[in-house]
Structure 1
Amino acid sequence: MDVISLLGMVVQVQVPASPAGISGDGGAVCLWMAMGVGVVALVAAWMLARHVLCCETGTPEMRSISDAIREGAEAFLKRQYRTIGAIAVVLAILLFAGYHMSERTAPFAMKTVISFLVGAVCSGLAGYTGMYVSIRANIRTASAARGSLNKALQIALRGGAVTGLVVVALSLLGVGTLFLFFGGLTNPQTVPYQLVGFGFGASLVALFAQLGGGIYTKAADVGADLVGKVEAGIPEDDPRNPAVIADLVGDNVGDCAGRGADIFESTAAENVGAMILGAALYPVFGVKGILFPLIVLAINLIASIAGVFVVSTNETEDPMRALNRGFYLTSALALVGFAVAVYTMLDGPTVKPLWLLGCGVIGLITSFLFVWITEYYTESRYRPVQSIAAASLTGPATNIISGLAVGMETPALPVIAISAALLLSYYFGVQGLSDVAGVTDYAKGIYGTALATMGMLSCAAYILAMDTFGPITDNAGGIIEMSNQPESIRERTDKLDSAGNTTKALTKGYAIGSASLAAFLLFSAYLEEIKVIVADKVHLAGGYMPPGWSFTNINLAQVPVFVGALLGAMMTYLFSSMAIKAVGRTAQMIVKDVRDQFKENPGIMAGTLKPDYGRCVHIVTGAALKEMVMPGLLVVCMPVAVGLIFRHFSASYQATSEIYAPGTILPVPAIAGIPVNLAGAESVAGLLMVGTIAGILLAMLMNNGGGAWDNAKKFIETGQYGGKKSEAHKASVVGDTVGDPFKDTAGPSLHVLIKLLATITLVLAPLFV
């Protein structure tokens, strides 16, 4: 029996004796078109970068400040990537050795390691390229603000668009190239299972990039705020603050490189997971169903390029309105493109494409809902932020209590939105394929949820451009402030900075929403892969899979599954604790150094001496890189340990089965008369399922709670409840400081964690059975 027929049996589909190759149903054209668009997007990114870098760089004083930010960011990123590279090489060797532990998995070792390293390199390259442009776009945005708000807006957005386009294009080209290299032209149905390493590599780099960048940015921010604002009473971005350059560097390494790696991971995970599910439905759609995610990414790139180029504003308009116009155009073009792709690729005499298009629409609507919900909980116009600001009147304690209460409230609406999206897209998937014979409703519904995930990520490049816009404008405002530019220029950068703060908050909501759908997609892909592995094992032992067997019912009442679930939930809290502690320890070092500089050089506060900015940058760089390792290794090691331990213990239990009386039900089930140890796979499924749920809820609490604390402080700074330097303002600064590691370190890192859990289990699934 060949592998294609075996896969068809697993999903209960009658496979043609000689399925059409990739060239037989236009798949080759689709693949080359998608990759061609990826190349065009890289060219567009290069043109945008060239345009931005050709712009004026302002006064010598502005350039010296920008150079300090650039040098600090590049030094951190180089040291961080060396650390990540070393960890990736060690894991690649362990992965190769682990696959060679079994004769059944040994043939796939090299391809898995190659895809892992390619994913890691593409993710790192995407982050570095985006950072390279953003730390040079800040000075050019600041310089442009001296003449025009519109020019400054366009430079900042186009600088951010370089990150967005490069991230999505490299994700598309990385997966597409591996598909070709691994023989996708001749074996399209089996190759997607060999791409799971790509998602793991992307996830690994994303976790360390987000975690290390988050520790850096928030330790510098907390240290600068506690001593500068609270103790010394100087404003934000004041050049007298020794930690101000480290704070501005942190905006780039956390919000730019970190979020870029996060979105790269989401698109990579969605690609691989959807292609695996497409392979399961190969007899329905052919190779087009497998390549459909790559076409959607190509449409995403085209729509995002158009959205970026239409953004313009004037001196009186809120820049956020101009950014929203670009987002609406991008969404409209993405929807039209998605519809064309559905009707031309997911076609067939028994397929109802309108239902499948509805799945993508549901995903797109869900992205809007997440943006709106995040705005509601983090904007000062609405009740949650205003309630925290009012609570600040009675001190820091009530500010903290109110902020935690808001944070705990925030998961309610997003969870309802995710639940509705999953249920509706599952139903739409079943309806769209209702006339297709031989496919289970579960397979139909899960493919519907995959289409919804594609729909939600169909504007990813523009969303990432908006996110990177935030640190660019924040840095531009800091450069204007530190170089003592006229107040009229600062007013322009304040408008841009305000819009940037909004985009950063909204993209965090988008990121957790897309991570939630992508995680469910990957969980489904994990179950599908276990089915294929079990079928392969039974076939090699001379048996045949019984009709109707599936690995979709994970019994939480089984002790291994329940223990795995408990460990998964626990891990998200332990990881968050480690991340927040890391920020606290690093911030303490910054606070001590800033205090020492003020004490050693009284001329700093008088404005007659410049602080030693490099000392703070050096301290926070070393500490952040050291602190990021242990939380990252926790996430990598936990699912591996759970899967291998439960598989080993269950196998040992089976080895002593002769002590039982005949007829006793043994812990290792038999499929077609062949013992198959599923304890490891089931316990990992429990860890993955409950760990994902706990991570999603905790991330929402931290992201939105931290954002609400931050904007409550800014609301008071507008003159409400006594304004700046009032008791309410001091209390709100404390709340904002508590919320900083929530919203910019632990929360965003949890987005990556839940996807890394899924990708590592996909890669190591053969070792758990």
Structure 2
Amino acid sequence: PILVLAAGIYGSFYFAGFYGVAIAAAGMMATTAMQLSIDAFGPIADNAGGIAEMSGLPPEVRDRTDNLDAVGNTTAATGKGFAIASAALTSLALFAAFVGVAGINAIDIYKADVLAGLFVGGMIPFIFSSLCISAVGRAAMDMVNEVRRQFREIPGIMEYKATPEYDKCVAISTEASIREMMLPGAIALIVPIIIGFSFGAEVLGGLLAGVTVSGVLMGMFQSNAGGAWDNAKKSFEKGVEINGEMFYKKSEPHKASVTGDTVGDPFKDTSGPSMNILIKLMSIVSLIIAPHLSAGTSHIDGKMEVIRDIKTISVDSIGNTTVDTITNKIDSIN
């Protein structure tokens, strides 16, 4: 996928420059409807499996929904790959706009400060990802404790004689999703501002390059790895042969796959898809502050020179014509 993305970037730039890159990004964004339908397939099948299990339907119903959910994980990973690739093309177009507005002729990675910004940018997706995964773990433990409390304090839940307090579980997830995302969101918004005003536009350009490359790789890896871990857990429903021995649900390898899926779910549903948001958000913030970093060198703040040529034509008595050109130079027109 990375080679295909690199070929698309190079080909579009070769034929039409950064305008071609922008058109390529628009072309990939044109598949948004298909991506949404692909992403929706997995959660629908997963919810159907949960409803079948809670309703006490026959085991074969659950087997069929698990097969559909496995397909949904694969299609979702494919759709997320398209989304991340389109984010990479979009961020490249935004990066070109940032360079133009900030008035940067070139971003020289031979400079120590630019190289440092490149490394810091490559680090940010890892920090962002770790914060997202940790937030999912904390919210999940809060919900587990709430469910245990309800089992302990509300008798008859498992016998369908009492109604669980569903609203409290929903409140835990929604409140945690807002509260825990404050720090990752602040990182995406504040870091470009601090780097830009502290070290200049060229270092900020190096930061954006590092974020884009690292974020695209992280997003694709996490989306694919998360789906693979989830499918590995589901494969034990029918049995998995390991070293000539079949293992099924509730076996030791199955327990290990469940542990792996506790990492895979945040990978494919939280951290991986958030990479394209991080890439585009930091590029947009950098583009917004670019005029304030240009110091009068950009094509917006710079001054234009207007050259006006006035030609006079004269004809002598013999019939020869003479063209005289008077050049007027008008400076400092904003």
| Alpha-carbon distance in 2 for matches of 1:738, 1:616 | 21
User: Match for residue 170 of structure 2?
Assistant: 617
Q: CA deviation at 1:729?
A: 0.7
Which amino acid is the alignment partner of residue 254 of structure 2?
H
The CA deviation string for residues 27-63 of structure 1, in whole angstroms up to 9 with x for no partner, is xxxxxxxxxxxxxxxxxxxxxxxxxxxxxxxxxxxxx
The equivalent of 2:213 in structure 1 is 693
Conservation of the 8 A alpha-carbon contact between 1:723 and 1:729: yes
SS in 2 for 1:448: helix
Alpha-carbon shift at residue 495 of structure 1 (Å): 5.7
Aligned to 1:383: none
1:413-458 per-residue CA deviation (whole Å, 9 max, x = no partner) reads x22222222222223x1xxxxxxxxxxxxxx432232232233233
> 1:463 is matched with which residue?
35
User: Is 1:415 paired with 2:7?
Assistant: no
Q: Which residue of 2 aligns with 1:631?
A: 184
Q: Which position in structure 2 is the counterpart of 1:720? A: 240
Cα 1:470–1:705 change in 2 (3 A) is closer
User: Which of 123, 135, 149 matches 1:570?
Assistant: 123
Judging by fraction of residues, say which structure has more strand: 2
Could you tell me which of 127, 133, 147 is aligned with 1:594? 147
Within the candidate set 197, 220, 225, 1:644 is matched to 197
Establish whether residue 765 from structure 1 lines up as the match of residue 284 from structure 2: no
Alignment partners' CA distance in 1, 2:59 and 2:226: 30
Q: Which of 566, 580, 584 is matched with 2:133 structurally?
A: 580
Give the direction of change, closer, same or farther, for the CA distance of 1:635–1:475 in structure 2 (3 Å limit).
Answer: same
Matched, 1:736 2:261: yes
SS of alignment partner, residue 30 of structure 2: helix
Give per-residue Cα distances to partners, 1:274-332, cap 9 Å, x unaligned: xxxxxxxxxxxxxxxxxxxxxxxxxxxxxxxxxxxxxxxxxxxxxxxxxxxxxxxxxxx
Distance 1:489 1:728 in 2: 24
Does residue 1:446 correspond to 2:33, yes or no? no
**In structure 2, C-alpha distance between the alignment counterparts of 1:611 and 1:710, rounded to whole Å:** 28
Residues 35-54 of structure 1 mapped to structure 2, 5 A cutoff? none
TM-score by length of 2: 0.78
- Measure the CA separation in 2 of the matches of 1:482 and 1:511: 34
* Corresponding letter in the other structure for 2:212: T
Alignment of 1:488-499 (within 5 A): 493=65, 496-499=68-71
2:50 is equivalent to residue 530 of structure 1: no
SS of the equivalent of 1:725 reads: coil
Change (3 A) 1:490 1:592: closer
Change (3 A) 1:754 1:710: same
Relative distance call for 1:552 and 1:454 in structure 2 (3 A) is farther
Q: Does 1:753 align with 2:278?
A: yes
- 2:157 is paired with a residue whose SS is helix
- Aligned mates of 1:644, 1:733 — CA distance in 2: 46
The amino acid that maps onto 1:766 is P
> 1:566: how far off?
2.5
Q: Which amino acid aligns with 1:555?
A: D
Contact 1:705/1:739 (8 A) holds in 2: yes
Query: Which amino acid is 2:22 matched to?
Result: A
Structure 2 residue 231 is the aligned partner of structure 1 residue 711: yes
Cα deviation, 1:488-538, whole Å, max 9, x if unaligned, reads 76666556544433332221111112112222222122222234xxxxxxx
Looking at structure 2, the residues matched to 603 and 625 of structure 1 have their Cα atoms a distance apart, in angstroms, of 33
Q: Name stretches of at least 5 consecutive residues in structure 1 with no aligned partner.
A: 1-413, 430-443, 532-550, 647-679
One-letter identity of the residue aligned with 2:235: F
Q: Shift of the alpha carbon at 1:485?
A: 4.7
1:557 paired to 2:110: yes
Partner SS for 2:98: helix
Q: Is the 8 A contact 2:154 2:162 kept in 1?
A: yes
Distance 1:499 1:707, change over 3 A: closer
Structure 1: which amino acid aligns with 2:86?
A: S
Instruction: Give 1:688 shift.
Output: 0.6
CA contact (8 A) 1:717 1:729 kept: no
Contact 2:70 2:234 in 1 (8 A): no
Match of 2:310 in 1: none
Give the structure with the higher percent helix: 1
SS in structure 2 of the partner of residue 724 of structure 1: coil
- Secondary structure class of the residue paired with 2:31: helix
The amino acid of 2:102's aligned partner reads I
The answer as to whether partners of 2:91 and 2:280 remain within 8 angstroms in 1 is yes
Change (3 A) 1:590 1:569: same
Which amino acid is 2:128 matched to?
F
Which range moved further: 462-471 or 755-764? 462-471
The change in CA–CA distance for 1:583 and 1:492 in structure 2 (over 3 A counts) is closer
Q: Structure 2 CA distance, aligned partners of 1:607 and 1:732?
A: 30
CA distance in 1, matches of 2:66, 2:229: 20
Residue of structure 2 equivalent to 1:335: none
Measured after TM superposition, the shift of residue 469 of structure 1 is 3.3
**Given residue 700 of structure 1, which amino acid in structure 2 is its aligned partner?**
M
Sequence identity percentage? 48
1:509 maps to 2:81: yes
- Give the whole-Å Cα distance in 2 for the aligned partners of 1:605 and 1:592: 17
SS in 1 for 2:110: coil
Deviation digits for residues 361-401 of structure 1, max 9, x if unmatched? xxxxxxxxxxxxxxxxxxxxxxxxxxxxxxxxxxxxxxxxx
Instruction: Give the CA deviation at 1:477.
Output: 3.7
SS at match of 1:604: coil
Q: CA deviation at 1:602?
A: 5.7
Distance 1:588 1:488, change over 3 A: closer
C-alpha distance 622-600 of structure 1, shift in aligned 2 (>3 A): same
Q: 1:457 to 1:708 in 2, by over 3 A?
A: same
Looking at CA atoms only, which structure, 1 or 2, has the larger radius of gyration? 2
Distance 2:196 2:99 in 1: 14
Does the C-alpha gap of structure 1 residues 725 and 581 become closer, same or farther in structure 2, counting only changes over 3 Å?
same
C-alpha distance in 2, partners of 1:451/1:590? 45
After TM superposition, the structure 1 = structure 2 runs for residues 190-339 of structure 1, keeping only pairs within 5 Å, are none
- Classify the secondary structure of the residue corresponding to 2:106: coil
